[in-house]
Amino acid sequence: MKQFDREFDPRGIVLQKKEYQPLSIAFYGIMNYDLYKETGDRVYYNHIINQYKFFCDTSGFDLIDGGKGMGLPYNKDFKDIKAPWYSGMTQGVAISFLLRYYDLKKDKSALQKAKQLAYFMLRPVAEGGTIGKTPEGHPWIEEYPGSKSSPQVLNGFINALIGLKEYCMFFPKDSLASRLHDTCYKAMIKSFEKYDVHDWTRYNRAYMPCSNQYIRYQITQLEHLYKIYGDETLLKQMMLWSMFTYNKPDPVLKFYKNTMYNFAIPMSTTGDPGMHYGPASFDSTFSPLPDVRVSSSEKRSGGKQIPAVLMPQKKTILSLGREMHFVRLVFDSLPAPGELVFELPGANGKTVAAETRIHANGVDIYAVSKFSRVHISYNNDHATPVRLKEVQFNDPDRHEQAMFLFSKHKLIVKLDKGKKYAVRFKSKNAPAPVVFYRHLDNKFGLYRAVWKASQTISNPEMIFTAPANGHYEFFVSLPLLLPGAGISELELVPVE
């Protein structure tokens, strides 16, 4: 929001180089919506209202099929596309903005406009719409429909897909939209490896490499998609791109998550032979955990809110409202070591194994298995009550701490097709590790082979069947969820 000086027309609609740019208007509206929801500041509210005015001005769009479809035209040639042309990305982002405007104002005209935008977007490119085909024949929402110089732009497709997904959630009975959403999503998952090279990724299917700016943008897009779909393939693709971008800053977008931010960092060796570790502590990424309830019984609902007073010789139960790997309890002051005892009840009455660490006036509690409750016993007959001031969580949305760890040590071995191997390694504080592999006949060309999100080992047994004869390279990555996360060097053991 603060990087660029913006110009506005007399109605308050944002301009780009003194012109109306539908994509910029929609994005600006969405950013102000998010800020208004976060702060309640009426300045942002007014910006949202003003951006909607653009979509009510008939001079800014084209109607087709008796008003069923609405296209947002670009009235200048772009590379090999002649004006007027229509972008699937712009249509999708505009849908996302209009749905948010409806959420704010309950103005049904915004829903009608969203339907018109979707109708136009979902027409084939040959009929003036934005649905094209990948070289493999899969449907694709084109940012630049019909362009041979910039086909299948990935970040533009993802923005359009998000708009289409949100549209389908509002209008589940639109069978065409739902069907195209599902096929386009599958096309994206299948196409990731078509963009990647051995240590980077491409902007489009014309082999144009991503800039540092765009690959970082695509990582945050996948992060958003993962929150929507929960598809582990998205997480694995994020791991790869995050490793590729290590220590490769973005010199353009100064506001963007810190220009030197690393989505992934390598594990380093320590005093433990053969082990590689991430950061020993998290000190800068905590936010208050909302909706924590405090009680003295096993009730799943009710109870008091934080802050709370812990009484001597009494058990206090914290219901966190979600499953966590890590929480920080902040007190006004801590009692003597050992007087507070923490227990994490898990499924089937079993206790979750956890570690604790004193942090200033707080206690960090973390476990490889998730937990949603914390039992606290205060064991001192003569002590004064202790005030629990706040419960905090390691907030991934703040992105001060890296999202992933990866091993710099890579295992290279020659394997036979069809043979089974067990991948063995020791781990500590390392939930959900993923082992990636790539392979090639020629060992000396292996470094040029492509890492793929589809070529991973993450099953509980870590059993791997070699798909071909040749040389294989393996490395491990994992979400950075706990301090002191560590992985040993990998070993492959034949399975008889």
Strand, coil or helix: what is 476? strand
Q: What is the mean pLDDT of the chain?
A: 91
Q: What percent of the chain has pLDDT over 90?
A: 70
Please name which of 295, 302, 324 lies closest in space to residue 388, comparing C-alpha atoms. 295
| pLDDT of amino acid 3 | 47
Residue 339 · residue 333 · CB < 8 Å? no
The least confident of 35-49, 98-112, 272-286, 424-438 is 272-286
pLDDT band at 98 (very low <50, low <70, confident <90, very high): very high
For residue range 276-312, what is the model confidence (pLDDT) as tens digits?
A: 999 888 876 788 998 898 987 655 555 677 788 887 7
pLDDT in tens, 445-494: 999 999 999 999 988 889 999 999 999 999 999 999 888 899 999 999 99
Domains 7-195 and 404-494 share a fold: no
> What class does CATH assign to 286-394?
mainly beta
Which amino acid, residue 480? L
Average pLDDT for 405-413 = 90
pLDDT at 405 over 60: yes
Q: What is the pLDDT of residue 311?
A: 79
Residue 297 class from Cβ within 10 Å (0-12 exposed, 13-18 middle, 19+ buried)? exposed
Architecture of domain 404-494: Sandwich (2.60)
Coil, helix or strand for 208?
coil
Residue 305: partners with Cβ closer than 8 Å, 6 or more residues away:
292, 293, 294
**Cα(112)–Cα(244) distance, rounded to whole angstroms?**
42
Residue 334 is predicted with a pLDDT of 82
Tokens linked to 99: 């749905």
pLDDT digit string, tens, across residues 437-458: 999 998 899 999 999 999 999 8
pTM: 0.90
Q: Which DSSP string corresponds to 236-295? A: HHHHHHHHHTTT---SS-TTSS-TT--SEEE-EE-SSTTEEE--S---S-EEEPTT-EEE
Class of domain 7-195: mainly alpha
DSSP-assigned letters across all residues of 67-132: GTEEE-EE-S-BTTBPSSEE-HHHHHHHHHHHHHHHHHH--HHHHHHHHHHHHHHTSBGGGTSSEE
pLDDT at position 223 over 60: yes
| Residue ranges covered by each domain of the chain | 7-195, 286-394, 404-494
Question: How far apart (Å, rounded) are the C-alpha atoms in residues 128 and 38?
Answer: 39
Q: Residue 206: is its pLDDT beyond 70?
A: yes
CA atoms in the 13 A half-sphere facing the CB of 31 = 9
Amino acid at site 2: K
